[in-house]
Amino acid sequence: MIEKFGEPSDCVKLLTRKADQVLPKKLSPKQILVQHLAACVNPADINVAQGVYGVKPTLPTVIGNEGITRVLEVGPEVKDLKPGDLALGVSTLGYWQSYSVQNSETFYKVDNDLEIATAAQLKVNPCTAFRMIKDFVELKPGDVIIQNGANSAVGVYAIQFAKCWGLKSINVIRDRPNKSEIIDELKSFGADHVITEGELRNVEILSPILKSIGKPKLLLNCVSGKNASDCMRILDNGGSSVTYGFMSKQPLTIGAQSMFKDHQIKFFWMSRWYNEREPSKRGEITDMLNNIADMFKRGIIRPKSSTLIDFEERNLAFKGSNNTKYIFSISK
């Protein structure tokens, strides 16, 4: 839980409470009792703890934006879930705990055959990549996308979806000591080209790439700042820039060339997409989750490398990603 905002290593506290202190004696008609099996540690969770995320929870609160649960008990009017089902709530916060009571109408059944660590990552990153590629530009096989932060979890899924749908990808990463390791990893996921921020500004390196595959029609931007401006500079006429993050903590600066090239500047937040569809368009959410889960099961996509940790080891995740995704293994 957090009782005050601050750096996660200081403000996230591990508490133990008896069931009768936090759980009701009886479920209401549409409630479910769930056991939390695993939960991700995402950049958004860090920002929530720091108090700088787009939405601030009322304190004190359990945080954690993404995870997977198993249904233990259902209220008498629950129809779509039964004990034993894997399930997740797309508008649910508070995944960093062992048990909770939830509204069944905000939870979705997940394929029981999915590995727990994969199911825990279903809600945010693959869905973000899926929606951004599908919803903003009508792309056809052979078209090109460019993205920064390409070794992020969203970036890894964007590479795989692009490959699956016949698109080409240019993937921008920071220049770092383990650059060759990251390039090899992204190529293994299907990246066509992986370049550093410096190489993005190098005409001798960039020109042959654009000549061979064409200019990108879509930019996925999670970095902003100068990096995003450099990516936008090579967008095709009529191309779209979709911003879903500000990892550089710098503003999104739009150059004059975007006006002359009729660039479309757009933004995306996965939580808003979910909120706009609950409860009236639940079918869209179900279809997407089932589609992506099926792609995982068939080996069409695979998750970024992850590291399972206990709550007691949380500071490992708070220190930095180390090119891995940290996941709390809650119920062994």
Q: Active-site positions?
A: 53
**Closest Cα partner for 324 from 182, 221, 189, 224?**
182
Tracing tokens 């996941």 back to the chain, one arrives at: 327
**Dist CA 8 CA 319 (whole Å):** 9
Element (H or E) spanning 326, and its range? Answer: strand 325-329
* Cβ neighbours around 296 below 10 Å, total: 20
SS3 content of the chain, % helix, strand, coil (to 5): 35, 20, 45
**Dist CA 124 CA 122 (whole Å):** 6
Tracing tokens 């179900």 back to the chain, one arrives at: 286
Concatenate the DSSP letters of all residues of 144-184 into one string: EEEESSTTSHHHHHHHHHHHHTT-EEEEEE---TTHHHHHH
DSSP state of 2: B
N residues, the chain: 332
**Closest Cα partner for 148 from 233, 55, 34, 49?**
233
Q: Which amino acid is at 256?
A: A
Contact 14, 24 (CB under 8 A): no
DSSP state of 7: -
Contact 159, 169 (CB under 8 A): yes
